[in-house]
Amino acid sequence: MDITKRFLNYVKFDTKSDAKSETVPSTEGQMIFAKYLEKELKDMGIKTNLDDKGYLFGYIPSNVDYPLPKIGFLAHLDTAPDFSGKNVNPQIIEYKGGDIKLLDGSVMSEEEFPGLNDVVGEEIIVTDGTTLLGADDKSGIAIIMDAIEKIVNDSSIKHGEIRVGFTPDEEIGRGPHHFNVEKFDCDFAFTVDGGRIGELQYENFNAASCFIEIEGKSVHPGSAKNIMINALDIATELNESLPCQMRPQFTENYEGFFMLSSMNGGVSHASMEYIIRDHSMDKFNEKKNIIKALVDFLETKHGVKIDIKFEDSYFNMKEKLLPHMDKIMLAKKSMEEVGIKPIIEPIRGGSDGSQLSYMGLPCPNFFAGGYNFHGKYEFIPISSMFKGSELVVKIIENLAEENK
């Protein structure tokens, strides 16, 4: 199947994950999609394992008579809960520059979305403006499936044992939570979950959530002098006291941030949630200490009870991947050989590969090809998916040749 048709077929599946769900996977659509992919793999003659939590593994045996490391390729089934992924209506256009008017009347402008400058002269797939596209990460799945189909149908491509894995709930941070590393049975893997063509990543944020509960004192506002303690006022003071230059909209590259993700409540009680991010573990811990010291100060200043709790989400995979830089170099060399310029940069976010690397499966990340994920302005150049598939094949070929 042509990779474009494959991708357009995959985005029909509504696989938006749901952080409020307690099931695994968090939504039924992910399991429906996993079963569809399982059939595709079986039709290729590939041995599969799909468990009751939506983790789909495929196993391809070696076709050489010498030992090779077992390599894997991973992508996630779900799309982001930020925007609808139901009834996706993709449009293929030949982009000649300028703004793009979507079918709902909204405009994707060059000024607001400079990534469009990368794809002038390309055929690109866009949304109709009512949903996200789902290139994150259905283009990654299409890239892997297309490459695997080539490999199993062409005996001249020499390879060792190959694993493919499609996992649920990456977008809500649960992707590796039930991933059975032993069952996957692999020496190292790549997640195919990056953005624009050429991205190659082995660093990501350290990440934590911070939960704050503020107890105020509510009385009638007409007789409130020297009595009322407004929990919302304290919440506002807390947020305004954090360094404003450390908010996401003012940071880039290796700069970390605090982000107030929600604030709710009233005079008597207020709750706040932050996410904290930094590539440096020292700076990550410093950010935690800053917000904890501020909470202690405000608790004393206002004579109120303020509870604070941190929950770590994932850590920078760099620490676990530095001993495996040969895998990064394998991907870099393979990119160059298929005419892709490597863009080695840190992920300003997370990756299933981060958690999997800490679980004993070294797992850097490379591009899936899309832009503007998680919203209606998402798009992907078709050529990036073709190149992604070519890259997977080249990595496998080079691994076999280098270890011959």
Strands 188-194, 71-76: pairing kind: parallel
Question: Quick one: tokens of 67?
Answer: 């030992």
The arrangement of strands across the sheet holding 91-94 comes to 91-94, 123-126, 379-381
β-pairing, 188-194 vs 199-201, is: unpaired
* φ/ψ bin of 318: left (φ > 0), alpha (ψ from -120 to 50), beta (otherwise): alpha
d(CA 245, CA 234): 21
Question: Apex CA 164: angle with CA 163 and CA 170, to 5°?
Answer: 135
104 catalytically annotated: no
Beta strands in 107-180 (DSSP E): 107-108, 123-126, 162-167
302 annotated binding-site participant: no
The answer to whether residue 215 is catalytic is no
Distances in Å between the Cα of 389 and the Cα atoms of 43, 55, 63, 284, 332 are: 19, 22, 20, 36, 15
**Has 136 been labeled as part of a binding site?**
yes
Strands of 161-254 (E only): list them: 162-167, 188-194, 199-201, 206-215
Q: Does the annotation list 193 as a binding residue?
A: yes
Q: Which of 161, 170, 203, 278 is catalytic?
A: 170
| Distance spanning both ends of the chain, measured CA to CA | 32
Q: Is 122 annotated as a binding residue?
A: no
159 assigned to a ligand binding site = no
Per annotation, catalytic residue among 40, 78, 169, 352:
78
Binding-site residues sit at 76, 136, 171, 193, 374
Please enumerate, by residue number, every residue annotated as part of a binding site for Zn(2+): 76, 136, 171, 193, 374
Active site members? 78, 170
